[in-house]
Amino acid sequence: MPPVEQGAKVAVLKVWIGDELSQEIDLYAAETVEKGGLQRQAVDALKELLFGWL
């Protein structure tokens, strides 16, 4: 099974206006995303270490 399948719910977008929740919309994967190879995983891990705090 791939990490993210097409049509899977991946997030909820919430739009706030001040302190009031204006809209709440489910977001779904437009396409299947396969697990990356070793090099892709290493690059992603490095990016998360460097930029994950942003």
Please say if the pLDDT value at position 54 is more than 70.
Answer: no
Flag whether 1 is in a domain. Answer: no
Predicted pLDDT of residue 18: 96
Is the pTM higher than 0.85? The answer reads no
Domain count, the chain: 1
Asked if the structure places residue 3 within a domain, the reply is: no
- Tens digit of pLDDT for each residue in 21-40? 999 999 999 999 998 999 99
Query: SS3 for 10?
Result: strand
Ramachandran angles phi, psi of 19, nearest 5°: -95, 5
Q: Does the residue 36 lie in any domain? A: yes
Q: Is residue 23 part of a domain?
A: yes
28's tokens: 């779904």
Domain of 42, in residue numbers: 9-51
